[in-house]
Structure 1
Amino acid sequence: MGSSAEDCEAELKRLRRNRGLCLARADEIGDALRTACGVTSDDTPTRTVQKVIEAITLQAQWLGREQRQAALTALGLSGPESRFLQNRQAWVAQAIDRDIRTARRRIDEGCAELALLLAEGSETAATPTGSWHTERMRVLLALDQPSPEAFVFRSVVACNESLDELDLATPLTASDQMAIHGADDVKVDVFAGGTLLRTRNGSSKLNGLTLRPPEPLRRGQKHEIALRFRAAEMLPHYVCVPKSACAEFALTVRFGTRTPRMVGLLEKVFKNDLRSVTGTPLETDAAGEVHVRFRNLQPEFAYGIRWER
């Protein structure tokens, strides 16, 4: 069972009234935040504080600029390292060029929104199933090269003892595949994490691959994988469709000077709707890149972006 937003907000307020998270002890962190941030009974006090800080920092990226700065400063994760909340409040007021009452209001707003994001994450987090699951994945997709090229960095966790193969078989639009028109034109290189045993081609689609780690993985052991995919052509979207739990997925797509006329965010979309869903509009930055991040991905749903030239 997840945590409620009200409980998370109350615990955030209690933490900010004291010394802030940067100076917090594990016993000052309540049950609601522990649950929302994935703390387990096996975590040490240091790891407990670290997990809470990581989860709060990750979710804070979805807040507005002033609310994010206000909330993180009040919690001692940004701005001055002061033991006193009133000093941190004064710093927020100066940073956002507002009076102290407005600064306090921004802090309250930021903590309330942050509590809601944390609670929603704890309610929707997927339970790991199968022989392994993905803890974190980062994809860098370059579309400004002569042919599309993707680097995939994946941190996986073994759920079984003596796991000697990682079956990365996925549907066409899965996270570690580029959606392609012709599998014969796809090249896969392993930069770290094991040996590529085989790829499985079905008619005209690259369905997946199998990787053998340097040595069998133990239950609970983490393993890092780095792969490169190159294809002659790909469909106008890139998504992660996890088969099991995936805690975090970060995607950067570089269009360069070939900026598409439309880029849309796809979040928890049915696989069959990928071509029909436009998604929330996104803007490319000055380098012609789009950066998105997802947390607690639900199995069999698609997360990523699509574009139209």
Structure 2
Amino acid sequence: MDADTRLKILSQELKDVRKGLGLHQVSLPAVAGPVLRELAGVTPAEPPGAVRDKLVALVRGLVGLLPEGRRDLARAVFGVDNPANETYTGRLAAHGRVVDRDLRTVQRRADEVVYLLAELACARPTREVARAADGVPWHTKRLQVRLVLRGDDVEVFETRRIVSHEPDLVDVRHSLSVGPSGQAGGPVDLAALGIDEISGGEVRALEQVSADRVAFTLRPPRALGPGDEHDFFFRVRARAIAPFYCCTPEFDCERFDLNVRFESHRLPARVWRIDGEFSKEAADPTPSRPSAHVDDTGEARAEFEDLRPARSYGIGWVF
């Protein structure tokens, strides 16, 4: 199926979905066409309730990707918020009263919104559409980490470029593991942990979420819209950490570049890559893993692409 045909078919399928009560119509799972079902990730064996949930999530996600000026109309077109159980024409008439436009004008603009939504869905990679459908607020386009070991002191310099998936994204929740704090395996000492924003926003609401993991909020200088990219650069200072460093993303991460610098007089006996392992296994030095090279300056590097959420990627070592 060529791109123009796919766009035309999807536009018609979206028009079928908007009829009656829109996303709240009883027949939604049966009404949705094959292209829409494909974009929503519907499988043949799924029951109607699961199909409905996926279709609603997809349309909601796509509506969130529209420019702000079109979003309210799109929500009315598909009945995203329809407490009065209004029919399609009733929803458009109500929207027309809010924006002071007659029904014919609103109907014309509703057709434009449907086309724009179909165009968005067809133009973006399937994975990006799926992110919108899943309600993922953002993902990491590129993460660059430089870890410097100096005796018992550790510095982590992190530059993270995120891509927003939703309108008005103002808080980016972030967490990291800092390993043992040197207190006989006790919990992280938040007072001794230094997290400094260098550029791209500010660090807020630092809290401990487990014995060796802390979470905080990164706030950009302005709200981000769908598709907006933004760089955060911050530094973390800690006491001796566990002998590994990993990224375990909550959401998708397209690329992760890690550089670990050891002291020239204290080089590790062995260094290895940790590539897509479960987080509980990442700290275990026992499994056989690919070696990572330490160069003449005491640096080890690793690059990873298309990181899976809840899996760990990084470098481990033993002295």
Under TM normalisation by the shorter chain, which class is it? 0.5 to 0.7
Q: Which segments of 5 or more consecutive residues in structure 1 lack a partner in the other structure?
A: 1-121, 173-177
* Bigger mean CA deviation after superposition, 137-146 or 234-243: 137-146
**Count of residues paired in the alignment:** 182
Correspondence for 1:132 among 135, 138, 145 = 138
Correspondence for 1:292 among 302, 305, 310 = 302
Q: Which residue of 2 aligns with 1:268?
A: 276
Per-residue deviation, residues 198-233 of structure 1 (Å, max 9, x unmatched): 111146333211011111111110000001011012
In 2, the alpha carbon distance for the partners of 1:212 and 1:124 equals 26
- Contact 1:125-1:298 within 8 A present in 2 as well: no
In 2, the alpha carbon distance for the partners of 1:183 and 1:273 equals 21
The one-letter code sitting in structure 2 at the alignment partner of 1:241 is T
- Contact 2:152-2:240 within 8 A present in 1 as well: no
The reply on whether 1:210 has 2:220 as its aligned counterpart is no
In 2, the alpha carbon distance for the partners of 1:222 and 1:270 equals 29
* Identical-pair percentage: 29
Q: Which residue of 2 aligns with 1:183?
A: 188
**Superposition deviation, residue 156 in structure 1:** 0.2
Secondary structure, counterpart of 2:280 in structure 1: helix
Task: Name the TM-score, length of structure 1 as normaliser.
Answer: 0.55
In 2, the alpha carbon distance for the partners of 1:280 and 1:125 equals 31
In 1, the alpha carbon distance for the partners of 2:164 and 2:212 equals 28
In 1, the alpha carbon distance for the partners of 2:148 and 2:126 equals 34
**Superposition deviation, residue 124 in structure 1:** 10
Q: Which residue of 2 aligns with 1:196?
A: 203
Q: Which residue of 1 aligns with 2:54?
A: none
**Superposition deviation, residue 279 in structure 1:** 2.2
In 1, the alpha carbon distance for the partners of 2:172 and 2:196 equals 15
The reply on whether 1:229 has 2:229 as its aligned counterpart is no
Q: Which segments of 5 or more consecutive residues in structure 2 lack a partner in the other structure?
A: 1-124, 182-186
Correspondence for 2:253 among 236, 246, 264 = 246
Secondary structure, counterpart of 2:153 in structure 1: coil
- Contact 2:292-2:302 within 8 A present in 1 as well: no
**Superposition deviation, residue 246 in structure 1:** 0.4
Cα RMSD of the aligned pairs, angstroms, is 2.4
Distance 1:142 1:205, change over 3 A: same
Q: Which residue of 2 aligns with 1:144?
A: 150
- Contact 2:256-2:303 within 8 A present in 1 as well: yes
The one-letter code sitting in structure 1 at the alignment partner of 2:207 is R
In 2, the alpha carbon distance for the partners of 1:213 and 1:227 equals 12
Q: Which one has a bigger Cα radius of gyration?
A: 2
**Superposition deviation, residue 146 in structure 1:** 5.4
Distance 1:279 1:152, change over 3 A: same
The reply on whether 1:308 has 2:315 as its aligned counterpart is no
Distance 1:162 1:252, change over 3 A: same
Task: Name the TM-score, length of structure 2 as normaliser.
Answer: 0.53
In 2, the alpha carbon distance for the partners of 1:260 and 1:125 equals 40
- Contact 2:196-2:234 within 8 A present in 1 as well: yes
